[in-house]
């Protein structure tokens, strides 16, 4: 089943799946003719069989072609795509399994018309249950695969592996840490001409990782380990690190023109997961942080790429009302609706506005794998979507494209039937709302820029004063609703 909807200038959505099982779109790249997406399908067996595909999507959001990568008997996944901007060659990176313990990473090269160019695989001796989140194209054009696997201990995901390959798929160098404890590679960036930075959930058993939860390791471009540091507390205060006070997992990297780094990911654990983003120096020193929190019990960042830099702004993607259930490898099947919120920040991590994909109103659950920038100044999301009204709901592959203007807090501003005045605006300690016309009574809700309700009050006789002296400076949105539930007015108030 394929569903494609054009939503406006530069915006569209595409969903597709079939009777095989569950579909998850893990990455997408923009080409001259449109987009190429990577997706993996899982059947519904207790031990699922995986099938990997590439899909071509035109500039209007229509699916035009698909090809399967690595047919039977291999069980295959695609996790990441990389586009060579000079040649137009697209590299698909993933893993495949012939049997348990006989597993390899693979590289598959194609053009934007999905015509195969070349392919190669890289056997993981001594590793099983392998996976990868991200790859890096270096300044010389080589690709660095950041992999994770189960090592000699037999405990899941205790080994981190780096593999450097050429643009032709030839293997050059590799590095392996077979750790006694949990260790999952998350992201990789080239922070200097000869230096790579690799983030991981867990600590390699090495002298320069004394304590902490997340690790940042520096390597040469020849994959020699140099040194590293552990994560920093989100409040910038020195002290012991816990799951709740630093970014402990996902750890997605953006390097700013200044050389400083933006790290986005997850704080907390299990029923306390929250999305967080932090600014640090290349040496790991704290500079700033932003920790949005919805009204729901659990939030979670996009799984494979949760932040992106667009025209000097940082976009942070979060799943609000995250379903804490089975592991996502199948992927899991939620039974609650959620929503995706995109936080638009400046590079000092001050919030400017947000945009919402509202699964609540659709009775749908959105799984978000990546947020990526597009050439028109907009962005694109990819992952999966479950229609909770379907009799046998399964994940459909989901891609949604947004134009550069898509940035609101999810509360539409007028026009409404009730003329409202707000003063002073901007203000410091609070504001007064007056509503002209017959007294119908109204309920007023005030939201911060993250969409969290911070005040609720009732208006009578057309006037309402709101004390906001304890609220931080920033942009707020108010909404007035009549006794019959009708929307009367909404607007913006700024606290200086």
CA dist 5 and 16 (Å) reads 12
Task: Tell me the per-residue pLDDT of 1-50, one tens digit each, with 9 for 90 and over.
Answer: 556 554 555 789 999 887 777 899 999 999 999 999 999 988 766 566 88
Examine the domain organization and report whether 306 and 351 are in the same domain. yes
CA dist 342 and 355 (Å) reads 5
Task: Tell me the per-residue pLDDT of 245-281, one tens digit each, with 9 for 90 and over.
Answer: 999 999 999 999 999 999 999 999 888 899 999 999 9
pLDDT band, residue 454 (cuts 50/70/90): confident
Examine the domain organization and report whether 367 and 267 are in the same domain. yes
Task: Tell me the per-residue pLDDT of 101-144, one tens digit each, with 9 for 90 and over.
Answer: 678 999 999 999 999 999 999 988 888 888 899 999 999 999 99
pLDDT band, residue 438 (cuts 50/70/90): low
| Of the candidates 169, 171, 238, 180, the residue with the CA atom closest to the CA atom of residue 204 | 180
State the CB neighbour count (10 A cutoff) for residue 43: 14
88: pLDDT strictly greater than 60: yes
pLDDT band, residue 398 (cuts 50/70/90): very high
Examine the domain organization and report whether 345 and 395 are in the same domain. yes
* Residue 408 included in any domain: no
Question: For residue 206, what pLDDT is reported?
Answer: 83
Which has the higher per-residue pLDDT, 419 or 306?
306
pLDDT band, residue 73 (cuts 50/70/90): low
Examine the domain organization and report whether 172 and 28 are in the same domain. yes
Which has the higher per-residue pLDDT, 6 or 303?
303
* Residue 466 included in any domain: yes
Examine the domain organization and report whether 235 and 289 are in the same domain. yes
pLDDT band, residue 414 (cuts 50/70/90): very low
Examine the domain organization and report whether 390 and 443 are in the same domain. no
Phi and psi of 360, rounded to 5°?
-60, -45
* Category of 79 on φ-ψ map: left (φ > 0), alpha (ψ -120 to 50) or beta: alpha
The mean pLDDT value for 55-73 works out to 88
Examine the domain organization and report whether 348 and 474 are in the same domain. no
Examine the domain organization and report whether 366 and 459 are in the same domain. no
End position of a domain, from candidates 350, 376, 402: 402
CA dist 324 and 273 (Å) reads 9
CA dist 205 and 88 (Å) reads 40
Which range among 193-207, 363-377, 387-401 shows the weakest confidence by mean pLDDT? Answer: 387-401
Task: Please tell me the pTM assigned to this model.
Answer: 0.82
374: pLDDT strictly greater than 70: yes
CA dist 36 and 30 (Å) reads 7
pLDDT band, residue 416 (cuts 50/70/90): very low
Enclosing domain of residue 333: 2-402
End position of a domain, from candidates 342, 373, 402: 402
At 112, which CATH number?
2.120.10.30
451: pLDDT strictly greater than 70: no
Examine the domain organization and report whether 373 and 486 are in the same domain. no
* Residue 407 included in any domain: no
* Residue 259 included in any domain: yes
**What are the residues whose beta carbons fall under 8 Å from the beta carbon of 71, sequence distance 6 or more?**
none
Examine the domain organization and report whether 152 and 181 are in the same domain. yes
DSSP labels for 86-107? TT--EEEEEEEEEETTEEEEEE
End position of a domain, from candidates 343, 373, 402: 402
Examine the domain organization and report whether 282 and 225 are in the same domain. yes
* Residue 16 included in any domain: yes
* Residue 414 included in any domain: no
328: pLDDT strictly greater than 50: no
Examine the domain organization and report whether 374 and 311 are in the same domain. yes
* Residue 161 included in any domain: yes
| Of the candidates 317, 302, 357, 363, the residue with the CA atom closest to the CA atom of residue 336 | 363
Which has the higher per-residue pLDDT, 320 or 459?
320
How large a percentage of the chain has pLDDT more than 70?
Answer: 89
Q: What is the number of structural domains in the chain?
A: 2
At 464, which CATH number?
2.60.40.1930
- Under a CB-based contact definition with an 8 Å cutoff, are residues 397 and 326 in contact? no
* Residue 154 included in any domain: yes
């Amino acid at each position: 089943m394929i569903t494609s909807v054009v939503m406006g200038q530069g915006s569209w959505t595409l969903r597709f799946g079939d009777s095989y099982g569950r579909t998850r779109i893990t990455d997408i790249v923009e080409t001259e003719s449109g987009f190429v997406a990577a997706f993996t399908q899982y059947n519904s067996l207790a031990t699922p069989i995986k099938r990997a595909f590439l899909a071509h999507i035109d500039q209007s959001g229509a699916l035009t072609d698909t090809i399967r990568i690595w047919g039977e008997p291999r069980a295959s996944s695609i996790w990441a795509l990389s586009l060579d901007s000079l040649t137009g060659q697209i590299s698909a990176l993933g893993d495949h399994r012939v049997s348990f313990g006989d597993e390899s990473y693979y590289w598959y090269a194609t053009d934007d018309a999905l015509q195969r160019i070349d392919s190669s695989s890289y056997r993981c001796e001594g590793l099983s249950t392998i996976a990868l989140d991200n790859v890096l194209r270096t300044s010389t054009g080589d690709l660095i695969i950041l992999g994770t696997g189960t090592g000699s201990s037999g405990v899941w995901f205790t080994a981190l592996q780096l593999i450097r390959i050429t643009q032709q798929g030839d293997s050059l160098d590799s590095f392996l840490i077979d750790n006694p404890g949990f260790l999952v590679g998350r992201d990789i960036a080239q922070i200097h001409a000869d230096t790579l930075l690799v983030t991981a959930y867990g600590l390699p058993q090495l002298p320069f990782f004394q304590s902490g939860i997340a690790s940042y390791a520096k390597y040469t471009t020849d994959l020699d380990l140099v040194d590293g540091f552990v994560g920093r507390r989100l409040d910038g205060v020195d002290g012991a690190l816990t799951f709740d006070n630093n970014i402990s997992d996902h750890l997605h990297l953006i390097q700013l023109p200044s050389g400083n780094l933006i790290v986005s990911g997850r704080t907390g654990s299990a029923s306390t997961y929250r999305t967080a983003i932090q600014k640090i120096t290349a040496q790991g020193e704290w500079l700033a942080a932003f920790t949005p929190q919805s009204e729901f019990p659990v939030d979670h960042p996009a799984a494979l790429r949760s932040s992106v830099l667009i025209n000097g702004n940082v976009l942070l993607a979060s799943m609000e009302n995250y379903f804490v259930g089975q592991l996502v490898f199948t992927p899991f099947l939620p039974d609650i609706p959620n929503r995706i919120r995109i936080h638009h920040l400046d590079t000092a991590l001050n919030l400017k506005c947000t945009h919402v994909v509202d699964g609540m109103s659709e009775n749908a659950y959105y799984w978000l794998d990546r947020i990526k920038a597009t050439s028109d100044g907009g962005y694109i999301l990819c992952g999966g979507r479950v229609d909770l009204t379907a009799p046998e709901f399964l994940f459909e592959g989901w891609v949604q494209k947004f134009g550069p203007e898509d940035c609101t807090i999810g509360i539409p501003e007028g026009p409404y039937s009730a003329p409202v005045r707000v003063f002073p605006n901007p203000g410091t300690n609070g504001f007064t709302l007056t509503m002209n016309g017959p007294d119908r009574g109204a309920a007023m809700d005030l939201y911060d820029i993250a969409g969290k309700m911070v005040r609720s009050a009732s208006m009578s006789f057309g006037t309402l004063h709101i004390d906001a002296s304890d609220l931080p400076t920033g942009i707020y949105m108010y909404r007035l609703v009549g006794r019959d539930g009708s929307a009367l007015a909404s607007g913006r108030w700024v606290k200086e």
